[in-house]
Amino acid sequence: MTYDVPLHIIHLEQDDPKKCTARKLASRELATLHFSTRRPPRRGYLLDPSAGVILGPDDLPLIEKGASLVALDCSWKRLTESISQIRKSSPRLEGRTLPLVLAANPVSWGKPGRLSTVEALTVCLMLLGKEEQARRILKPFSWGEQFLILNAEPLKAYKDAKSREEIVDLQWEFFEKPEN
């Protein structure tokens, strides 16, 4: 049986509405938009670049039980304060970060990890084996297919990984590892 992973987006209205991928997803009923940090889903994974734990196949059991993926649509410049705000109001959401991929959106094209909301959710869905849903949420964007082409090799490798540790190691085969 095929099911869609529930997608939720906490939208803090900090970016240009004309470039907002979250609003476009919601207008096409591909995700649920929340304008308050107080009412996100109770169970699931919050996409948080500072979480320290990468999303991977280890997270699939909770997703299969109906847990949600929750993205935060905010300005990259205000990310830390926005994540902190959500952590206080939604302590049951588990933070997850994503492996590196290249952005294909017009604002951050080619920048590793600088993803739009739809790109971040697409990576999650690909990691969880939900390729059909991932392609569906990218469809409304003229650059959506380019995102998949640009990241075809790493996304395939990440999707085939057996654990989050393997994903962490794999990303350094495609991207330069930062110096500590």
- The verdict on residue 151 lying in a domain is yes
Q: How confident is the model at residue 16 (pLDDT cuts 50, 70, 90)?
A: low
- The verdict on residue 2 lying in a domain is no
Residue 36, pLDDT score: 72
Eight-class DSSP state of 105: S
The arithmetic mean of pLDDT across residues 163-178, rounded, is 92
Structural domain range at position 126: 7-174
The closest of 64, 55, 93, 91 to 6, measured between CA atoms, is 64
CB atoms within 10 A of CB 43: 14
Helix, strand counts (H, E) of the chain = 8, 5
Report helix, strand or coil for 94. strand
Q: Report how far Cα 95 is from the mean position of its chain's Cα atoms.
A: 11
- The verdict on residue 115 lying in a domain is yes
pLDDT tens digit string along 142-167? Answer: 999 999 999 999 999 999 999 999 99
Give the predicted TM-score (pTM) of the model: 0.90
- The verdict on residue 162 lying in a domain is yes
Give kind and range of the element (H or E) at residue 106: none
- The verdict on residue 73 lying in a domain is yes
- The verdict on residue 30 lying in a domain is yes
pLDDT tens digit string along 77-120? Answer: 666 666 666 666 665 788 899 999 999 999 889 988 889 999 99
- The verdict on residue 105 lying in a domain is yes
- The verdict on residue 1 lying in a domain is no
